Amino acid sequence: MNTDQLFKNINKHISLSAVEESHIRSLLAEKHLSRNDYILKQGEACPFIYFVNSGLLRAFFLNPSGKDNTVMFALRDWWITDMHCFLNGLPAMVNIQAVKPCHVLCLSKASLDSLFEDIPKFNRFFRILMQNAYCREQLRMIQNLSLPAKDRYEGFLTKYPQIANMVTLKQIASYLGITPEFLSSIRNQKKGK
């Protein structure tokens, strides 16, 4: 099991001993996904948080009319789950699907709780993850409510150029909360300049 990237991610915020790394490694499972495989489906149990070792995942939900709404993408070195459902033992509200082939490391809720007890500084690491995620989502919400679609698209391209090159126009539009047709017209205007 390749955990080098995971420990680089953790070591950005806390220092772990070899014994602590070994303990974390013992609690992980790994999963390989092919393109379009699901790691989580709406309505299913949400027992894991995932660390992306390679590939690209997309979290999305289908509203009652069947419209696809992208919540987030997760590249190499990112964490992803349906956090509300993972932490509260509820059925998943989102689907998580591989956009590209992926290798992920899986940590269960019970294992996460065990790490909080066994390695108290892991609490700090997880708190930092949650703070960063909250800030990112708050900024995204404010931008979605206040910026024109053209500015949101340009911001997405600037912030996530790697993702923009790996996903479909429809998926980007879904993430930005606009129709693919409207995004296509924005792109055409941008090319025309």
Q: What is the mean pLDDT of residues 47-72?
A: 95
Q: Has residue 130 been placed in a domain?
A: no
Tell me the pTM.
Answer: 0.92
Closest CA to 78 of 99, 105, 108: 105
Q: Which domain holds residue 32?
A: 4-118
Judge contact between 46 and 40, C-beta under 8 A. Answer: yes
Question: What pLDDT, in 10s, does the model give residues 11-41?
Answer: 999 999 999 999 999 999 999 999 999 999 9
- Mean pLDDT, all residues of the chain: 94
Q: How far apart are the first and last CA of the chain?
A: 48
In a domain, 53, yes or no: yes
Q: What is the pLDDT of residues 102-150, one digit of tens each?
A: 999 999 999 999 999 999 999 999 999 999 999 999 999 999 889 999 9
Number of domains in the chain: 1
Predicted pLDDT at 189: 82
Question: 97 in a domain, yes or no?
Answer: yes
Kindly indicate the confidence band of residue 191, based on its pLDDT and cuts at 50, 70 and 90.
confident
